[in-house]
């Protein structure tokens, strides 16, 4: 019966007879931009898993797992490869999901032609800038945000040199140079610094705040701090520490997002009840900070997780929802002002008026919805078609 009920609710939602519901719908109803997930080629090739990923009520945003990293996009100097990432971007666009694009400059997953090239400072800067110009340029207008620099700090908050071809050759200046290059390639994209162990107050979080100040001091744009959030069940603690930490970043004039959230519990003896509580804690913290724009989980099913011998995600290996799913829904609050989906007599009409710029949205693109401020007129012959209160699409 529960499965039948879900099917009926989904069918009714598609006709506008009930309000849409899901992790992303709840997040947006709470005033956030999205609830999203990392998506890999493995997921795209698994029909059952991909059906979950395609559900925009649960996931309003995608991040590629490895498909946009340096070794994947520029395997040899000046030769760029986008095919695998393009498939993920195309699916997101078809379903009206945002892309958080990841990651341009990182000390890991750098091809050997870079790490073993023994390039001098000026040459390596040129290589980095060329890479950013090409990759960001290829996806210009398709990435809501970019993780421009990833994991450039040591645990004590100092800049990483050991093991980083960028830090050891160029020094910390590579960071603002990268942000400036990304801004030049796509001025409309939100540009983030992304790192782990920065989600609670401490030396590394303070180092990340200093990094943001440094980028700004160089005159380069930086718009957000990505908190990876690779956490462990039972060690999450209270929401207040996450709130105060996020607010410290917000006070610097940047957005904050959980970008790679997973909460590990041993698959041999899992504690899914505590895991659910811990997911709810993170959601509650984000909900309390206006600058926290959204949460991305690093995958959604334990079937495809990077953490060995763990069950850190919201669906199990059999693609069934775990207690964390309902805990997240409840932590966001109601999707429509009440505790359950509400019945409406008719779907709101999709607006046909365009913004002052007179722009038009392409086929499959979003054209309306609660809080949406983009193009509201579709290019011919497509019509702005109501999907739910938060999303209308050019069909």
Residue 260 falls in the annotated catalytic set: yes
Q: φ, ψ for residue 366 (rounded to 5)?
A: -70, 145
Per annotation, catalytic residue among 57, 65, 260, 379: 260
* Relative orientation angle of helices 174-185 and 121-138, to the nearest 10 degrees: 30
Q: Which residues are catalytic?
A: 260
């Amino acid at each position: 019966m529960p499965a039948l009920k879900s099917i009926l609710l989904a069918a009714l939602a598609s006709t506008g007879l009930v309000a849409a519901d899901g992790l992303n719908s709840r997040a947006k109803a709470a005033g956030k931009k999205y609830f999203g997930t990392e998506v890999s080629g493995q997921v795209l090739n698994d029909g059952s898993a991909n059906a979950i990923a395609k559900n925009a009520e649960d996931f309003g945003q995608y991040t590629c797992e490895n498909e946009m990293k340096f070794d994947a996009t520029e395997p040899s100097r000046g030769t760029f490869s986008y095919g695998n990432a393009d498939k993920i971007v195309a699916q997101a666009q078809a379903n009206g999901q945002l892309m958080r694009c990841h990651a341009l400059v990182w000390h890991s997953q750098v091809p050997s032609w870079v790490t073993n090239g023994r390039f001098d400072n000026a040459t390596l800067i040129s290589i980095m800038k060329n890479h950013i110009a090409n990759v960001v340029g290829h996806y210009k207008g398709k990435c809501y945000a970019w993780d421009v620099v990833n994991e450039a700090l040591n645990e004590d908050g100092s800049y990483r040199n050991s093991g980083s071809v960028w830090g050891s050759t160029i020094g910390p200046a590579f960071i603002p140079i990268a942000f400036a290059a990304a801004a030049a390639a796509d001025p409309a994209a939100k540009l983030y610094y992304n790192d782990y162990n920065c989600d609670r107050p401490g030396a590394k979080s303070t180092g990340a705040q200093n990094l943001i100040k440094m980028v700004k001091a160089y005159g380069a744009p930086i718009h957000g701090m990505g908190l990876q959030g690779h956490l462990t069940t039972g060690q999450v603690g209270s929401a207040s520490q996450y709130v105060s930490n996020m607010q410290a970043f917000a006070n610097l004039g940047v957005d904050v997002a959980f970008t790679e959230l997973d909460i590990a519990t041993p698959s041999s003896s899992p504690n899914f009840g505590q895991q659910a509580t811990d997911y709810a804690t993170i959601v509650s913290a984000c909900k309390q900070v206006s600058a926290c724009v959204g949460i991305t989980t690093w995958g959604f099913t334990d079937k495809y997780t990077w953490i060995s011998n763990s069950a850190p995600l919201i669906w199990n290996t059999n693609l069934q929802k775990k207690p964390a799913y309902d805990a997240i829904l409840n932590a966001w609050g109601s999707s429509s002002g009440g505790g359950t989906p509400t019945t409406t007599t008719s779907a709101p009409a999709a607006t046909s008026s365009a913004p002052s710029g007179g722009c038009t949205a392409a086929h499959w693109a979003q054209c309306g919805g609660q809080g949406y401020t983009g193009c509201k007129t579709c290019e011919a012959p497509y019509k702005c078609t109501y999907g739910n209160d938060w999303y209308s699409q050019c069909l």
